[in-house]
Structure 1
Amino acid sequence: MNKSEALILLRTKGFKHTDKREDILELFEESGGYLSAKEIQAALKDAYPGISFDTVYRNLSLFKELLILEETELDGEKVFQFHCTEHHHHHLICLRCGKTKTIEVCPMQDLSKLDPDFKVTGHKFEIYGYCKNCQEEMRHKSRKNNHSSMTVSPRA
């Protein structure tokens, strides 16, 4: 899914085109990863000073219902990204920046053999960690903090 497809879907389903909705979708297109309602509200506060958390969340819920967005939870907070309309796949998710990477492996192929009488109606498989850029930034920040926290005591 992308912004253009989402706007077309909203129109065909009879929902109004608003600047706020378009700007929210633009944020997802630019991010390339998961965003929380708080992050969206903060990003839009200059353009829409009175935008409420409820307004943002209502739009996110609508987008999720229409399969424009998909949702997961990171650190106890719901986060959203464009719904993947490609073939069946899963994601590696960076806990720091929220960016995702597609992985083609699906563990359900092996897990379905555990109980052939159990009818699976859906599943979600996500792997959490830190992308290469975030690892480098965290190492750099750690080195910087270690160097700046060193103190030298005068000798007696």
Structure 2
Amino acid sequence: MNIDEAIECLKENGYKTTGKRKDILTYFNEVDGYRTAKDLIQHLEETYDGISFDTVYRNLHLYNEVGILETTELNGEKHFRMNCTHHHHHHFICKDCGKTKEIEVCPMNEVKKSLKNYMIEDHKFEIYGLCPKCQTA
């Protein structure tokens, strides 16, 4: 999802696009991988002195709820990234830097065989470890 698609998504769901909301979208559009609310706050404090945690968390959860951001949990903390809606894929996620690498393989075909009488509504497949850069650091 790009910034224009995200802004359109907000409008379609009845939300205004404020300067802070655009800056949040720009941040996630420019960073590679998952980022925490703390990462976002540190970035926004350069422009918005004294920005509140409540404002940041409220917008992060709004963006997740309407499908702009996707989330994962790393080291007991929620991390966010711009939603990848262009094609179905999964991620390898670096536990140190949060960068992601797409995994094109989906294990659901095998899983569906063992859950024949179950209705699967959604799934998420993530692999965690260290990227090559973090391994050498």
Q: Indicate the RMSD between aligned Cα atoms, in angstroms.
A: 1.2
How far the C-alpha of 1:13 sits from its partner, in A, is: 2.8
Listed as ranges, the matches of 1:1-156 within 5 Å are 1-136=1-136, 138=137
* Unpaired segments ≥5 residues, structure 2: none
Quick one: percent identity of the two aligned structures?
55
CA distance in 1, matches of 2:32, 2:2: 10
Q: Give the TM-score normalised by structure 1.
A: 0.83
Q: Secondary structure at the match of 1:102?
A: strand
Matched residue SS, 1:28:
helix
The TM-score normalised by the length of structure 2 is 0.94
Q: Which has the higher contact order (CA 8 A, sep 6+)?
A: 2
CA–CA distance in structure 2, aligned partners of residues 20 and 65 of structure 1? 18
Question: Computing the radius of gyration over CA atoms, which structure comes out larger, 1 or 2?
Answer: 1
**Divergent runs of 4+, >4 A:** none
Q: How far apart in 2 are the matches of 1:118 and 1:5?
A: 34
The amino acid across from 1:3 in the alignment is I
Q: Distance in 2 between matches of 1:133 and 1:45?
A: 28
d(CA) in 1 for partners of 2:89, 2:118: 21
Instruction: Figure out how many residues of one structure are paired with residues of the other and give that number.
Output: 137
Gaps of 5+ in 1: 139-156
Deviations 1:3-24 (A, max 9, x none): 2211122233331121111111
Q: Whole-Å Cα distance in 1 between the matches of residues 120 and 9 of structure 2? A: 29
| 1:14-36 Cα shifts (integer Å, max 9, x gaps) | 31121111111111111121111
